[in-house]
Amino acid sequence: MTLTAEPYKIKMVESIHLIPKEERARALLAAGYNPFLLKSEDVYIDLLTDSGTGAMSDRQWAAMMVGDESYAGSRSFFRIKEAVKDIFDYDYVIPTHQGRGAEQVLFPHLIHKKDQYVLGNMHFDTTMAHIELNGGIPINFVIEEAFDTQMEHPFKGNFDTERMEAFILNQGRDKIAFILVTATCNSAGGQPVSMANLRAVRQVADKYGLPLWIDAARYAENAWFIKSREQGYQNKTIKEIVREMFAMADGFTMSAKKDAIVNMGGLIGIRRDESTFQNASSTCVPFEGFITYGGMSGRDMEALAAGLYDGIDPDYLENRIGQVAYLGHQLRERGVPIQWPVGGHAVFVDAKKFLPHISPEQFPAQALVGELYLEGGIRAVEVGSLLLGRNPQTGKQRVADAEFMRLTIPRRVYTNRHMDVVVDALSAIWQRRENIRGLEFSYEPKVLRHFLCRLQPVER
Ligand code: P61
């Protein structure tokens, strides 16, 4: 036997429905070509995000029933604390309502002066926003191979540590607040960071006395890539790899809506430093809530604690990452240009190559998102110049290094047959790509515009 299937059977289903093409055209127009403004009922296969959209396991649902809703000292909080100690070997944990809650609580204690830099491989957009809200300047040092979508590289989320060190020397240590490793690196295409690179980043951090934090939303997927691609890790368990990764950091922020497979929740983990824990605790109380619930109900904390274990199950991870790879390979075979190799949580379609006749100012990836919805009722998301926005000083549209349409796969939700439908729809668009037009704004909000903006196709 050579085939294996999903390492679960399905106990509960949710109906989905493909509305007729004319209705999809109407819905897209009503949404101003913005997938965030579509009603989910008008969507057939929803690949907008893998955040909070996973299917919980029977273990997680069962755990919810024993949630302890005490205001202080909840038993469910201690379940998270035990799981974090067991999996990450961290002493302190603060629950938050989601990833950006963790960023909001923590970053004021890491950015000490205005205009200090936060060095990352590639910061995610909410992370960038919270750095800027605290007076910091986010800056990226991902290796340049990350932007060559056709180049084979096992760890496109890696830092260019030489470039980073040169920057530190040039600016002076005091201009740097901390280093943040996003693993996997979402904005580069769900690309992993190698253990060797993490070690090299730690060495730079030690040399200049800089704190090193991990944005741990997809910690387990990153560990899986290390196990399958990095020499010396094949025979280690995911938990051993996670521990080794996190031993190199001072702490993490985590959106638990990804690899911990809950619909809502987040964490701050701190390895040993009690004073950072105390500082963050005092900020947690007014913003998120008391430190033993911090924005979550007891039942949600139970689901999260169980989900941290679900997320590191090797059978699950093999199937999960295998499904994303399955979609990517099918598309590539049909000639569709994608970020290669395929990332952990999504296939990133290279819209610059797909629609070379559309300039970044007319948002090629967003145009493709609209076409995919029209063709198959499939909702994807733009990760490109529309998301990047304008330069706050000059007001000019910034041009992203890559124009991606992200096909983000929720965890344990769709089967490979759904992936086949996506391949079918996108292949049909590939055949008629020359006819697709770019987009222009009919309404552009000032901040985080991608959520609420409205667009229309440009005149020919
Ligand atoms: C996503 F359109 N990601 O990928 P929170 N770090 C990292 C993330 O990927 C991340 C957060 C922190 C989302 C959701 C999302 O404009 C958008 O729990 C590496 O969402 O607060 C979230 O975690 C923040 C989608 C977020 C967006 C912002 O789809």
Interval 7-21: pLDDT, tens:
999 999 999 999 999
Q: Is the CB of 217 under 6 A from ligand 1?
A: yes
Q: Relative to the CA of 48, which ligand 1 atom is closest?
A: 29
Give the separation between CA 456 and CA 358, rounded to whole angstroms: 14
Pocket test for ligand 1, best of 96, 126, 261 (most atoms within 8 A of CB): 126
* Catalytic annotation present for 450: yes
Q: Which residues contact 345 (CB under 8 A, 6 or more apart)?
A: 50, 184, 186, 190, 218, 221, 258, 324, 408, 409
Q: What is the mean pLDDT of residues 341-365?
A: 97
Q: What does the DSSP 8-state code read for residue 112? A: -
Within 10 Å of residue 264's Cβ, how many Cβ atoms?
A: 17
pLDDT at 272: 96
Does the pLDDT value for residue 49 go beyond 90? Answer: yes
* Catalytic annotation present for 258: yes
For residue 4, which amino acid is it? T
Q: Could you tell me which of 427, 353, 386, 350 has the C-alpha nearest to residue 33?
A: 386
Question: Using DSSP, how many helices (H) and how many strands (E) does the chain show?
Answer: 17, 14
- Between 274 and 448, the more confident residue is 274
Q: Is the CB of 51 under 6 A from ligand 1?
A: yes
* pLDDT tens digits, one per residue of 182-222: 999 999 999 999 999 999 999 999 999 999 999 999 999 99
pLDDT at 220: 98
Pocket test for ligand 1, best of 34, 48, 51 (most atoms within 8 A of CB): 51
pTM for the whole structure: 0.97
What is the DSSP code string of 74-119?
-HHHHHHHHHHHHHH--SEEEEESSHHHHHHHHGGGT--STT-EEE
Q: What is the mean pLDDT of residues 264-276?
A: 98
pLDDT at 167: 98
Residue 60, both tokens = 């997680």
Cα angle 279, 285, 290; round to 5: 115
Distance from residue 50's CA to the centre of ligand 1 (Å): 9
* Catalytic annotation present for 77: no
Of 77, 117, 124, 414, the catalytic one is 124
Does the pLDDT value for residue 36 go beyond 80? Answer: yes
pLDDT band for position 4 (50/70/90)? confident
pLDDT at 350: 97
Residue 219, both tokens = 């910690």
* pLDDT tens digits, one per residue of 215-262: 999 999 999 999 999 999 999 999 999 999 999 999 999 999 999 999
Does the pLDDT value for residue 366 go beyond 90? Answer: yes
Residue 88, both tokens = 């990450």
Give the separation between CA 438 and CA 459, rounded to whole angstroms: 9
With beta carbons less than 8 A apart as the criterion, state whether 213 and 121 touch: no
Q: What is the mean pLDDT of residues 281-295?
A: 97
Classify 177 as helix, strand or coil: strand
* pLDDT tens digits, one per residue of 393-441: 899 999 998 999 999 999 999 999 999 999 999 999 999 999 999 999 9
> What does the mean pLDDT of the chain come to?
97
Does the pLDDT value for residue 460 go beyond 80? Answer: no
**Most distant CA atoms of the chain, gap in Å:** 63
* pLDDT tens digits, one per residue of 83-128: 999 999 999 999 999 999 999 999 999 999 999 999 999 999 889 9
The CATH homologous superfamily to which domain 21-50+313-457 belongs is Aspartate Aminotransferase, domain 1 (3.90.1150.10)
Q: Is the CB of 186 under 6 A from ligand 1?
A: yes
- Dihedral of the alpha carbons of 60, 66, 72, 78, in degrees to the nearest 10: -50
| Atom 26 of ligand 1, residue of closest alpha carbon | 126
pLDDT band for position 180 (50/70/90)? very high
Give the separation between CA 46 and CA 50, rounded to whole angstroms: 9
Q: What is the mean pLDDT of residues 268-283?
A: 98
Task: Please name the fold of domain 58-310.
Answer: Aspartate Aminotransferase; domain 2 (3.40.640)
Residue 166, both tokens = 């040169």
| Domain ranges across the chain | 21-50+313-457, 58-310
Q: Is the CB of 215 under 6 A from ligand 1?
A: yes
pLDDT at 65: 98
Phi, psi angle pair for 416, to nearest 5°: -65, -20
Distance from residue 90's CA to the centre of ligand 1 (Å): 23
Half-sphere exposure of 219 (CA within 13 A, CB side): 37
Distance from residue 1's CA to the centre of ligand 1 (Å): 39
